[in-house]
């Protein structure tokens, strides 16, 4: 009988060694970016404006917003960068809670104009957002275009002028 237990242990031991290791949240990161949050009646968290946010930080946040909105389809990240001005976020929540991607970095464009504190995303249309305290505060999408030659250069991204 002891020989049988030894054999079973010897056969099952390699299975235990082959089990995945490491941080599960890192391995599943690709799934959380496409998270469908439509079961929530409102965004899980909104941006809290901070007057100490620098232009560089705002530009980085604008790029993260573009990625979350257009490229990654990440509603949690997207809404974490929108402030609670009026009822705006709650009104548009049902449109974006499902985490649908709009495009890729190859077929869209992004820009942050530091002189106006506005960011732009071009996909099938062009959207413009005004940033206040490091948060999206206002939005326009009629007749917008990316300002030529005014796009802030981040160290890790390419911008289109």
Separation of alpha carbons 46 and 43, rounded Å: 7
Q: Are 133 and 50 in contact (CB under 8 A)?
A: yes
pLDDT over threshold 80, residue 12: no
Tell me, yes or no, whether 15 lies in a domain: no
Which single residue is written with the structure tokens 């709009």? 102
pLDDT over threshold 80, residue 121: yes
Tell me, yes or no, whether 42 lies in a domain: no
Tell me, yes or no, whether 136 lies in a domain: yes
Average pLDDT of every residue of the chain: 80
Tell me, yes or no, whether 31 lies in a domain: no
Number of domains the chain contains: 1
Report, as an integer, the average pLDDT of 111-126.
Answer: 96
Give CB contacts under 8 A, 24+ apart, made by 131-134. Answer: 131/58, 131/61, 131/62, 132/49, 132/83, 133/48, 133/49, 133/50, 133/51, 133/53, 133/83, 134/47, 134/49, 134/50, 134/53, 134/57, 134/58, 134/61
Separation of alpha carbons 90 and 43, rounded Å: 7
Q: Name the band, by pLDDT with cuts 50, 70 and 90, for residue 35.
A: confident
Report, as an integer, the average pLDDT of 114-130.
Answer: 96
Tell me, yes or no, whether 1 lies in a domain: no
Structure tokens at 100: 């649908």
pLDDT over threshold 50, residue 8: no
What phi and psi, each to the nearest 5 degrees, are found at residue 72? -95, -25
Residue 80: which domain range? 47-161
pLDDT over threshold 60, residue 42: yes
**pLDDT tens digits, 89-101:** 999 999 999 998 9
Tell me, yes or no, whether 149 lies in a domain: yes
Sign (positive or negative) of CA dihedral 16, 17, 23, 25: negative
pLDDT over threshold 50, residue 49: yes
CATH number of the structural domain spanning residue 111: 3.10.450
Q: Which of 27-36, 63-72, 73-82, 89-98 has the lowest mean pLDDT?
A: 27-36
Does this model's pTM top 0.85? My answer is: no
Tell me, yes or no, whether 30 lies in a domain: no
Tell me, yes or no, whether 24 lies in a domain: no
């Amino acid at each position: 009988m002891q020989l049988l237990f030894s054999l079973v242990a010897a056969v099952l031991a390699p299975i235990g060694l082959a089990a995945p290791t490491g941080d599960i949240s890192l391995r599943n990161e690709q799934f959380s970016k496409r998270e469908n949050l439509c079961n929530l009646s409102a965004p899980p968290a909104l941006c809290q404006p901070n007057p100490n946010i620098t232009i560089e930080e705002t530009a980085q946040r604008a790029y993260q917003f573009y990625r979350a909105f257009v490229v990654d389809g990440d509603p949690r990240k997207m809404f974490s960068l929108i402030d609670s001005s009026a009822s705006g976020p709650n009104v548009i929540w049902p449109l974006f809670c499902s985490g649908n991607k709009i495009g890729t970095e190859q077929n869209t464009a992004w820009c942050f104009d530091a002189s106006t504190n506005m960011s732009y995303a071009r996909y099938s249309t062009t959207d413009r957002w005004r940033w206040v305290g490091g948060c999206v505060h206002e939005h326009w999408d009629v007749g917008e275009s990316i300002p030529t030659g005014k796009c802030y250069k981040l160290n890790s991204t390419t911008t289109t002028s």
